[in-house]
Chains A and B, each alone.
Chain A
Amino acid sequence: MRALFHRTAAARRTAFIDIGKFFLVAGIALWLLTVGTPGLGYHWQWYRVPRFLFTIQEGVWTAGPLLQGLLVTLEISALSLLCTLVLGLTTALFRLSASFTARALARSYLELIRNTPLLIQIFFVYFVLSPVLDIGAFASAVLALSLFEGAYAAEILRAGIVSLQRGQWEAAHSLGLNLFDAYRYVILPQAVRRVLPPLTGQAISLVKDSALVSTIAIYDLTMQGQTIVAETFLAFEIWFTVAAIYLILTFGLSLAVRAMERKMSGAPLRMLGGPA
């Protein structure tokens, strides 16, 4: 009991020291920034920023370009996330499949995507594929992002699936479950739960990577920021604001996943429906 107490007290002390260090470093960084910018001759004009976020005229609330951009970023991210998960899961299952064709397909896709830069993939989809498939910039963006992130999600999901004990498969098989049901009820619920942290990391990467779609004339958050800076020269204020919005977005995402995780680990899976 005593030893335990000492250990927690010591742990608390190091935590305090760590937090102290963090604020010290953050403080120095902030101080450097504030003493540094006058040297640049930069005039902070934060008061000009809010109207790029939203305006209120006669009680009517209108979203400014930054919020409109945020909406586009959200749309692209949400759609791409959905496609990423579908593509990632399909690819993971293909890689684990008994069929040579399926495995080879999955491998080629993974190697191709993981060994070329995302920016090139976006250009390729937009300038080469989109005229062929007759899709617009928005669809190109979603397609390129999903293809890219899907490759990483596939490897994460595959790792989760193979990390399960062989006994889980054997129990599922011995009960006569077919492959689909074994995956759906036994394997995937456990595998996904195990890889939720890295999968969340991938979702966060997706949101951040979506900034690259600004290169194909999509007015997402980044593109809106760029446009405003070009017109107003409020470089510092706008980029700080844009960064803060991305931060809120990604932080919110990880909070949401964490809440979901807590809920999942506590409650039974009601997947059979009915009173079961």
Chain B
Amino acid sequence: MTADERIIETTELTKTFPGGIVALDRFSLTVRRGEVVVVIGPSGSGKSTFLRCLNGLEEIDSGSIVIDGIPLDHHRKNRLLIRQEVGMVFQSFNLFPHMSVRENIDLAQVRVRKKTPAQAAEATMELLKKVGIAEKADRYPHELSGGQQQRVAIARALAMTPKVMLFDEATSALDPEMIGEVLEVMRALATEGMTMIVVTHEMGFAREAGDRIVFMETGRIVEEAETERFFGSPHMERTKAFLSQIL
């Protein structure tokens, strides 16, 4: 991998929470431009913590994070720059309940990307069409189903035209019949060449859309490999045990 191909470089990340819980333990991962990395692992293994550190929602104790050449350090400016380039989708959607769908998606375009309201409105409609809910533009989040809310949340993150998208169990809070519609949007994004790190329990999605699988436990990488190799012939006993549990 040349330096230019690497869009995310994390080295030796450690994160200890008060109470001595080690959420990340010398965790290193490099992601290529356009790559879809799926992170799996048991509950409490540090998957969310890793994603949250990547856009500065959680501060690392040591190690380094560089995203598209920008180091995530103590400079507030760099943190804001990185957040503009990294979109995040949460398990609990986190839409702004006091704003309509349209306003949710417009906000950062106008305030952060400094678009005019007209430019933002146009982009918003495009995105809503893309995630298949253009007709809900003037609805409020509480008027939408879970699947629709999550699709709005994805559109809201995409409105920043990020270089990387992070998904933290984006479908875990959804009723089974709505998981498909959200995964479909994510699959389309992957096909378009978006760089993605996806934390999920959906092994079907991981196999289909993932270029590489990272299996982590207690803050470390147990095994990482190309998708086919990972599922076809896992090397570690721990991986085999975990896969037999969830497949």
Contact = CB atoms under 8 A, between A and B. Distances in A.
Report, as a range, how many residues of chain A touch the other chain: 20 to 34
Contact of A272 (B84, B92, B97, B106): B106
A11 interface: no
A176 B80 contact: yes
A185 B140 CA distance: 16
A106 B244 CA distance: 56
Contacts of A12: none
Nearest to B122: A275
Interface stretch (B18-26, B61-69, B107-115): B107-115
B35 interface: no
Interface in A153-176: 165, 167-168, 170-171, 173-176
A165 B87 CA distance: 20
A174 B88 contact: yes
B56 A173 contact: yes
B100 interface: yes
B121 to A, nearest CB: 6
A175 to B, nearest CB: 4
A242 to B, nearest CB: 41
A195 interface: no
Contact of B103 (A167, A173, A268): A268
Contacts of A174: 55, 57, 83, 86-88, 157
Given A268-B103, A273-B117, A171 B111 contact: no
B90 A272 contact: no
Interface residues of B, number: 38
Contacts of A186: 96, 107
Contacts of B92: 165, 167
Contacts, number: 89
B229 to A, nearest CB: 32
B120 interface: yes
Nearest to A170: B57
B98 interface: yes
Given A168-B94, A173-B83, A268-B99, A276 B121 contact: yes
Nearest to B110: A272
Contacts of B83: 173-176
A185 B111 contact: yes
A170 B156 contact: no
Interface string A171-209: 101111110010001100110010000000000000000
Contacts of A185: 96, 107, 111
A178 B79 CA distance: 10
Interface in B96-150: 96-100, 102-103, 106-108, 110-112, 116-118, 120-121, 138, 140
By Cβ-Cβ distance, the 3 closest A-B pairs, closest first, are A274-B117, A171-B94, A176-B84
Interface of B: 52, 55-57, 80, 83-84, 86-88, 90, 92, 94-100, 102-103, 106-108, 110-112, 116-118, 120-121, 138, 140, 153, 156-157, 160
Given A176-B84, A185-B107, A186-B96, 20 more contacts: A170-B90, A171-B90, A171-B95, A173-B55, A173-B83, A174-B86, A174-B157, A176-B80, A177-B111, A181-B112, A185-B111, A189-B98, A190-B97, A268-B100, A268-B103, A273-B117, A274-B121, A275-B117, A276-B102, A276-B120
Interface of A: 165, 167-168, 170-171, 173-178, 181, 185-186, 189-190, 193, 268-269, 271-276
